[in-house]
Amino acid sequence: MATSHDPGAPEPRLDEKTALLSGRDMWSTKSAEQAGVPSLVLSDGPHGVRRQRQDADHLGLYDSERATCFPPAVALASSWDPDLVGRVGEALGREARALGVDVLLGPGVNIKRSPLCGRNFEYFSEDPLLSGVLGTAHVLGVQSQGVGSSVKHFAANNQETERMRVSADVDERTLREIYLPAFERIVAEARPATVMCSYNKINGTYASESRWLLTQVLREEWGFDGLVVSDWGAVGDRVAALLAGTDLEMPGGDGHTDAEVAAAVRSGELDEAVVDTAVTRLRGLADRVRAGTGPCAVDFEAHHRLAREVAADCLVLLRNENRTLPLAPTGQFAVIGEFAAALRYQGGGSSHVNATRIDGPVNELRALLPDAQVDFARGYDTTGSSDAARLREEAVTLAAQVDTAVLVVGLREDDESEGYDREHLLLPPDQVELVRAVARAARRTVVVLLNGGVVSLEGWHDEVDAVIEAWLPGQAGGGAIADVLTGRVNPSGRLAETIPLRLGDTPSFLNFPGEQGHVRYGEGVMVGYRYYETAGVSVRYPFGHGLSYTDFDRTDFQVTADGPDTAKVRVTVTNTGDRFGRHVVQVYVTAPRRPVSSPARELRGFAKVALAPGESTTVVIALDRRAFAYWDTRRHDWVVAAGQYRVQLADNAHDVVATAVLDLPGDQLVQPLTLDSSVSEWFAHPTVGPALTSAMASGPTGVQTTAAAEGTADTLRLLSSMAMRQFLQFLPGQIPHELLEQLMRISETSAEPVCG
């Protein structure tokens, strides 16, 4: 097997080259050994290797090789811990290598625009910073083992409804501030081997055919130097896709698109250099990943232990009235729910892993509580084949006899999956009825939730004592749940997405999943907590929320500018409780008035710390320029406005603990005025405004303008939105034309800070 390209090797012919750029079969590329291009194996996925053999399907219907199923992204993100995610990445990389996989198809870093997206379990967060930081750690981990990552799905693939052809109609600022930054960060900080373009269109153009996306933004602006692979079947027009920057078409089909590309070169429609560039990138990928090829032994037991450790740090303790948790080591407990025996731990579709083993919560709890009595009742049935009332009765009878009832409930396998979106946020009604009935009967009730997409807690939340959101926790999730229930692990997960009160409260509600081939991202940048906090909409639990069995003090919160648009945040965290625990420091920024509407606050930095009882540490978080910038659609660039920024230390997106004010000078930019600029823009211009005011007051004719003379605030307000062109028509002769010409020239050369 060739491991690197020999410059003396013969160049492949045109037909060979076009053939190299589409898959050989579902999971591998073709080879041209003489030309130094080996066949490469690509496999899903984000939280476990799904290595299928030749008789493979593509959506996980047939079993793949056994591999560790780590917690899917929805859970991983709740750890808010890049180090932990990096360790998962390393383990994935090792398993991929051992199974002969060159490129692992993940992570998925699309933003959770709506809680209804059927694939939210495969994505990290509603926030681009959290998604980007964790995605970076994932890629660095996988690639440290010599395996390439494929960051997906680029871009604006935020729903499953019509996912293969819907046009995501998103404005420029929203793309730049919400939907692209996670990809951008990963490209800059982790240098992924490949990026996978998505199925959907963006503003009418298929992602696979978008030169703006795949070449201008991804390569020219961000410096991506890897290979762009299509999502499986995402290429409709292969020539257009190659021209746009999609190098490799997967899975490839019968070869007729290879012939189309060759014909396009021969007819002059396509420059052969485009094909050559894509082949060079494919070769570059081969060189990169094959350099890491070699024997790689996997200790599946160790990976299972890692999966458990990780899952435990991902669980989010949402509610814990009267310190119901952790459970006492002795006493009588009832564990209720089919999922407590047969864990729901991953989602359906292409990411489906053939787990090496699966731990059920009830067995694991029994193992950790040898001195307690732990009984089990099924409580509900996920297939609908048993009598729900009878199962409920049995569970209620048991719950009435014990100290604490632990209910494990959640979404059923087919309630959510790749390929379709949900239509509501509700748990199955029989499970809700069960929770309410048990809560009435039991002395104390704990609910453990297993779900890939957010579920509503309404109708039962206030009736139970404690709630753990376990998401889909991977194959070792049962042990992790037992660890947190018993206090063997102190919970430290934080919500990576908001839990709303009602579906109707969610920002994309009126525009999801779209109609007639289009989905309009009408909420703009107000996604997730950005919307709830800005509009003052109450939620059940805010983004960033999560409780602990210990307490943390935050002191000496300081923010200091260390450049015109950068700052350092410092805070000392002390574990004031009596057990070891981890805490997530969250830093948000509120912008001053600026030329664009701004969310009430945005997450701009975070760090997770581990502290023994009584221990303190000082956390330093750097806020870079981007923490203060908005995307300016006139300049098509990032701009920092001048003014006072509030930097907030917060427990979550809603509860601010401390605030510091940072005065930033803002970018000094030339803001040329034209006759189409508004009167208010003319007057607000820092150099031109005062010159105009004084010139008008004493005008060349010595006559004051009507506006200046009558000069009331109301009059100026009335005129302020007029273009200068119209203003001049309404008040002819009041401002000499030469003066305007002169002021416009001044505005073309004087750099001024950008203000609101």
Q: Which residues are catalytic?
A: 231
Q: Whole-number minimum distance, CB 46 to ligand BGC, in Å?
A: 8
Query: Quick one: 120 or 747, whose CB is closer to ligand BGC?
Result: 120
Among candidates 37, 154, 138, which has minimal Cα distance to 96?
Answer: 138
Helix axes 300-314, 82-98, angle to 10 degrees: 150
| Distance, CA of 116 to CA of 118 (rounded, Å) | 6
Written as six digits, the tokens of 228 are: 């762009």
The amino acid occupying position 337 is G
What is the residue type of 592? P
One-letter amino acid of 745: R
Strand 581-590 vs strand 602-611: parallel, antiparallel, or unpaired? antiparallel
Q: How far is the CB of 25 from ligand BGC (least distance, A)?
A: 12
Contact predicate 312/11, CB 8 Å: no
Locus of tokens 């273009």: 723
What is the Cα–Cα distance from 478 to 308, expressed in whole angstroms?
8
Q: Tell how far CA 159 is from the center of its chain.
A: 13
Output the smallest distance, CB 540 to ligand BGC, in A: 30
Q: How many CA atoms lie within 13 A of 23 on its CB side?
A: 19
CB of 724 to ligand BGC, least distance (A): 51
If the CB atoms of residues 38 and 45 are measured against ligand BGC, the closer one turns out to be: 45
Of all residues in the shown chain, the one whose CB is closest to ligand BGC is 350
Identity of the residue, 44 or 364, whose beta carbon is nearer to ligand BGC in the bound complex: 44
d(CA 138, CA 732): 64
* Kind of pairing between the strands at 668-670 and 201-202: unpaired
- What the block records as the tokens of 509 is 């509600």
Token pair of 478, please?
């049962």
Least gap, CB of 122 to ligand BGC (angstroms): 7
CA distance 693 to 716: 12
Q: What is the rounded distance in angstroms from the CA atom of residue 423 to the CA atom of residue 418?
A: 14
Q: Token digits for 217?
A: 């933004």
Name the residue nearer to ligand BGC (CB basis): 45 or 544: 45
Pairing verdict, β 148-154 and 103-105? parallel
Closest to ligand BGC by CB, 196 or 262: 196
The nearest distance, CB 51 to ligand BGC, in angstroms, is 12
Six-digit token pair at 716?
């100026």
| C-alpha–C-alpha distance, residues 452 and 413, integer Å | 10
Q: Sheet holding 552-563: strands in order across?
A: 552-563, 566-575, 616-623
Q: How far is the CB of 352 from ligand BGC (least distance, A)?
A: 10
Measured CA to CA, the distance from residue 120 to residue 456 in angstroms comes to: 15
Q: Which is nearer to ligand BGC, 196 or 569 (CB)?
A: 196
d(CA 12, CA 38): 13
Q: Give the residue from 240, 249, 238, 237 showing the smallest Cα distance to 197.
A: 249
- Smallest gap, in angstroms, from Cβ of residue 231 to ligand BGC? 5
Helix, strand or coil for residue 322? helix
- 118 or 599: CB nearest ligand BGC: 118
For 85-112, give the secondary structure using H, E and C: HHHHHHHHHHHHHHCCCCEEECCECCCC
Whether the Cβ atoms of residue 45 and residue 335 lie closer than 8 Å to each other:
no
- Compute the least distance from the CB of residue 495 to ligand BGC, in Å: 24
**Around Cβ 536, how many Cβ atoms within 10 Å?**
7
3-state secondary structure of 319: strand
- Residue with Cβ nearer ligand BGC (5 or 58): 58
Q: Binding residues for ligand BGC, per CB under 6 A? A: 44-45, 58, 105, 152, 231-232, 350
Tell me whether residue 350 or residue 590 sits nearer to ligand BGC (CB atom).
Answer: 350
CB nearer ligand BGC, residue 105 or residue 449? 105
CB of 50 to ligand BGC, least distance (A): 8
Question: Cβ distance 121 to 453 under 8 Å?
Answer: yes
